[in-house]
């Protein structure tokens, strides 16, 4: 078993005013188990098509769908998606029919009404499949129940559950599945909107105790605060449908701030500052702004910082100012379609949280071996050619010369490697998945393909030799499609995700089958030495 990140991939980031040219309506997929299964949150019209633009991710991997609320920009793609992933029913006896008693292939969770919605449209469109789905409704007091009696079930439907809230008004532990380091649990809370709306919390029950909080449309998510402590969210995905943009940034925006706020609240939505303030309340470690209004176009390239780019930067600034993250490196991020966000395990954070919350150490039977808390340090023993947690680097080089070592982190400190093979790590790079890179890091073109520590143009060099001050790209975030002509990669080179130059370590043909380097130096084609960039994942 390998070193696993949790990950979010955004399939649609527009509000109900979409879809727009560059944004589809709401949907995202979460890879939280590390076994190839994916969970989806919301499924707007066109969601199935979005998979065509993402590498290594297929609709068939989705086995759970969580619906936040019943607005059309969050549910209208679910019928087409189910028809796509459920094996079709044989025609004229050309194949095997459904296996008797087979479990549902896909489970859907959502508010009252989602069961009848799917059942009725499946019936009206004469849809049928050999595999079955099941719908589980999260019922508030007074919500009507939709029967699951066999006499009313669709032929492709398996009986679902009616799940009432607990005494605290929350739905706890509605799903529990085995993840990389232990069970992953799903909890749900109601949040304020014009219609019943939910926020979902995906959390690990054992170290490293990562937690992902995904909110539906809301003007007040206060009830979910109970689910956002011990530990705090590793990532908070919060809507930001509207915002006041100063005329100095966008001359077309002439609305007053109080008018924007009043209209946004009246429609049950949030502005960036509200998202930032809530992130501060719950102590979120990362903040992603989602559900962006259609009046704010996505930056589509051009020269330098065009007005669309400045508008998105203003969204991030307003949210970050209200959030006040503890690290000056942190900032809010505006989500874009196909953006990929990874949440690596942070063992130093896990040790600190264990001391603060009293969570017991869990035996972890995987590649890193036993995990234990020893004094004031959190020690993780790993073996030959395993991956060091928090670093994302191999314990030994690909030539298998390395030996085991120890990863140790003091409370609140970064991880470091104390092992004889530490200098033999390979230079890590990040592959852009399903999107085009906006630029590399400080290294020259060819020696980096968008590093985990890269900035989107920051510190790079334009073609004219001047430095480029573009958007900063957040750690472990894949850049969004399209780049300006000022970015360090040309559009032609960008399409292939990398463009080695003459100073690259090897040509593309020569790179195939080359062994990893024993140190951080290599030779250019002209025989001179060139330093390579070693990428260290932050703990």
Model pLDDT for residues 164-177, shown as the tens digit of each residue: 999 999 999 999 99
Residues 339 and 354 in one domain: no
Domain membership of residue 529 (yes or no) is no
Residues 268 and 323 in one domain: yes
Q: How far is CA 347 from CA 200, 258, 329, 350, 386, in A?
A: 24, 44, 20, 5, 16
Per the structure block, which two tokens stand in for 250?
């966008």
Q: What total of structural domains would you count in the chain?
A: 2
CATH code: domain of residue 121: 3.60.15.10
Going by pLDDT thresholds of 50, 70 and 90, the confidence category of residue 88 is: confident
Per the structure block, which two tokens stand in for 122?
């499946």
| Position 46 pLDDT exceeds 60 | yes
Domain-ending residue, one of 343, 359, 383: 343
Tens digit of each residue's pLDDT (9 = 90 or more) over 450-507 = 333 333 334 444 444 444 444 344 444 444 444 333 433 333 333 333 333 434 333 3
Strands 62-66 and 38-41: parallel
| Position 317 pLDDT exceeds 90 | yes
Residues 179 and 62 in one domain: yes
Please answer whether residues 336 and 308 qualify as being in contact, where contact means their C-beta atoms are separated by less than 8 angstroms.
Answer: no
Domain membership of residue 512 (yes or no) is no
Residues 315 and 359 in one domain: no
Domain membership of residue 390 (yes or no) is yes
Share of the chain above pLDDT 70, in %: 62
pLDDT at position 328, please? 79
Bridge partners, 416 (sequence order)? 408
Q: How far is CA 274 from its chain centroid? A: 21
Residues 120 and 203 in one domain: yes
Please answer whether residues 98 and 87 qualify as being in contact, where contact means their C-beta atoms are separated by less than 8 angstroms.
Answer: no
Domain membership of residue 484 (yes or no) is no
Share of the chain above pLDDT 90, in %: 54
Residues 73 and 219 in one domain: yes
Domain-ending residue, one of 379, 401, 424: 424
Domain membership of residue 444 (yes or no) is no
Residues 295 and 416 in one domain: no
Residues 148 and 278 in one domain: yes
Domain-ending residue, one of 319, 343, 367: 343
Mention every residue, 6+ apart, whose C-beta is less than 8 A from residue 202.
6, 30, 32, 39, 184, 185, 186, 211, 212, 214
Domain membership of residue 509 (yes or no) is no
Residues 248 and 375 in one domain: no
Domain of 190 in residue numbering reads as 6-89+103-343
Residues 253 and 107 in one domain: yes
Residues 311 and 355 in one domain: no
Residues 331 and 410 in one domain: no
Can you spell out the DSSP letters for 246-267?
A: -TTT-TT----HHHHHHHHHHT
């Amino acid at each position: 078993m390998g070193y696993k990140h949790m990950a979010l991939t955004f399939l649609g980031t527009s509000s109900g005013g979409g879809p727009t040219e560059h944004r589809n309506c709401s949907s995202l997929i979460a890879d939280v188990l590390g076994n190839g299964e994916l969970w989806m949150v919301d499924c707007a019209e066109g969601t199935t098509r979005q998979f065509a633009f993402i590498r290594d991710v297929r609709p068939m991997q989705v086995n759970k769908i969580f619906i936040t609320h019943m607005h059309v920009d969050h549910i209208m793609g679910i019928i087409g998606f189910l028809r796509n992933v459920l094996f079709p029913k044989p025609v004229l006896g050309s194949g095997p029919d459904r296996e008797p008693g087979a479990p549902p292939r896909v489970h859907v969770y959502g508010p009252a009404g989602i069961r009848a919605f799917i059942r009725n449209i499946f019936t009206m469109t004469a849809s049928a499949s050999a595999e079955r789905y099941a719908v589980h409704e999260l019922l508030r007091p007074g919500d009507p129940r939709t029967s699951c009696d066999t006499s009313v079930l669709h032929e492709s439907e398996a009986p679902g559950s009616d799940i009432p809230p607990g005494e605290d008004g929350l739905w706890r532990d509605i799903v529990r599945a085995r993840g990389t380091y232990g069970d992953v649990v799903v909890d749900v809370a109601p949040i304020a909107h014009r219609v019943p709306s939910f926020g979902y919390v995906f959390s690990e029950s054992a170290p490293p105790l990562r937690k992902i909080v995904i909110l539906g449309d809301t003007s007040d998510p206060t009830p979910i605060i109970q689910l956002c402590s011990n530990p705090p969210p590793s990532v908070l995905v919060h809507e930001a449908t509207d915002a006041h943009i100063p005329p100095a940034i966008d001359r077309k925006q002439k609305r007053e701030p109080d008018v924007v706020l009043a209209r946004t609240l009246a429609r049950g939505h949030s502005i960036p500052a509200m998202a930032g303030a809530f992130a501060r309340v719950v102590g979120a470690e990362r903040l992603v702004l989602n559900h962006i209004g259609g009046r704010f176009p996505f930056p589509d390239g051009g020269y330098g910082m065009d007005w669309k780019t400045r508008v998105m930067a203003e969204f991030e600034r307003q949210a970050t100012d209200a959030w006040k993250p503890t690290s000056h490196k942190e900032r809010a991020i505006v989500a874009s379609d196909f953006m990929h966000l990874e949440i690596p395990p942070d063992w130093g954070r896990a040790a600190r949280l264990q001391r603060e919350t009293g969570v017991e150490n869990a035996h972890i039977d995987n590649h890193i071996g036993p995990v234990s808390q020893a004094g004031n340090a959190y020690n993780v023993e790993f073996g030959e050619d395993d991956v060091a947690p928090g670093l994302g680097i191999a314990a030994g080089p690909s030539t298998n010369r390395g030996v085991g070592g120890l990863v140790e982190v003091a409370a609140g400190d970064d991880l470091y490697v104390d092992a004889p093979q530490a200098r033999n790590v390979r230079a890590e790079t990040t592959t852009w998945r399903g999107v085009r890179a906006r630029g590399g890091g400080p290294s020259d073109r060819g020696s980096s393909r968008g590093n985990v520590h890269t900035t989107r143009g920051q510190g790079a060099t334009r073609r004219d030799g001047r430095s480029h001050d573009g958007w900063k790209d957040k750690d472990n975030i894949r850049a969004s499609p399209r780049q300006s002509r000022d970015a360090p990669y040309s559009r032609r080179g960008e399409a292939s995700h990398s463009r080695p130059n003459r100073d690259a370590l090897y040509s593309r043909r020569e790179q195939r089958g080359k062994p990893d380097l024993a140190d951080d130096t290599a030779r250019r084609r002209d025989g001179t030495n060139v330093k390579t960039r070693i990428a260290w994942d932050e703990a």
